[in-house]
Structure 1
């Protein structure tokens, strides 16, 4: 399913191609382009079992509620989500992942996984383990408040 509003990878290196699961190619005629914001929003929604209040998505993604509204509107136009009445508060509207949205998210996950596998394939098992250990150490420091980070 093609989308006229989407950005092909040649114009935006951060775009994620969703296709039949094969690696991204600019010549794939049936590819559907998912922008990083769309991917992040679909991923957050999928992480909440496919249904969430916009305020919950905003908190998950650390963005303003107006930004989530714009993201949901874009995903709605693409048929990836729908707005439905909340089951806990009849004044509220939730966002629900459609089958098309789940397929786009899963396709993007497959493409991302294939690219990670390709890139990490350049390393031996020992090197991948070392890289993982080093990145874990960096992440632990990055997650600490700045006033408690160790000094050398």
Structure 2
């Protein structure tokens, strides 16, 4: 007889929820016909939260992907006018990536997509349940043991 594995079950539930979130966000992206993949969306959001334009290596590190993957994403976003490569003023050999006005406009639309996807995902929960879920997720994201925040 096998013993129940509550932690394994929770891990499986989290993975299933993650896949569901990705599916719903992808569907919402396709409905808006923004022409942006989830990976490109993530790169745009990352750029928006950066103070000054980052180097491609910085983006790769932040996104936890290989530099070649960032190059592919930047190439596609640059072709669509959402980002541009700019030389670093202190070192002309270094290339930095910055958002364009088109990229900022797309980000506003992406924010609306994420909001509508979140509304769909969270619809079954009450306000109190959402608050509790947020607190629990913060604890998991931060990695702090419960009660030691």
TM-score norm. by structure 2 comes to 0.70
> Hey, what does 1:94 align to over in structure 2?
96
Count of aligned residue pairs for this structure pair = 123
| Contact 1:15–1:34 (Cα < 8 Å) also in 2 | no
Structure 1 residue matching 2:35: 3-state secondary structure? strand
How far the C-alpha of 1:42 sits from its partner, in A, is: 0.6
The verdict on how the C-alpha distance between 1:140 and 1:47 changes in structure 2, with shifts beyond 3 A counting, is closer
Per-residue CA deviations over 1:78-105 (Å, capped at 9, x if unaligned) read 1111111112211111111111111112
User: Which of 15, 31, 40 is equivalent to 2:26?
Assistant: 15
Q: CA RMSD in A?
A: 2.5
- Structure 1 residues 50-65: aligned runs within 5 Å: 51-65=53-67
The verdict on how the C-alpha distance between 1:135 and 1:79 changes in structure 2, with shifts beyond 3 A counting, is same
How far the C-alpha of 1:50 sits from its partner, in A, is: 6.4
> Hey, what does 1:32 align to over in structure 2?
34
The verdict on how the C-alpha distance between 1:114 and 1:49 changes in structure 2, with shifts beyond 3 A counting, is farther
| Contact 1:17–1:34 (Cα < 8 Å) also in 2 | no
Give the Cα–Cα distance (whole angstroms) in 1 for the partners of residues 99 and 64 of structure 2: 20
> Hey, what does 1:116 align to over in structure 2?
118
Per-residue CA deviations over 1:11-52 (Å, capped at 9, x if unaligned) read x9453656xxxxx73xx6xx3231111011111111114622
> Hey, what does 1:78 align to over in structure 2?
80
The verdict on how the C-alpha distance between 1:137 and 1:95 changes in structure 2, with shifts beyond 3 A counting, is closer
Structure 2, unmatched stretches of 5+, are 1-21
The verdict on how the C-alpha distance between 1:140 and 1:45 changes in structure 2, with shifts beyond 3 A counting, is closer
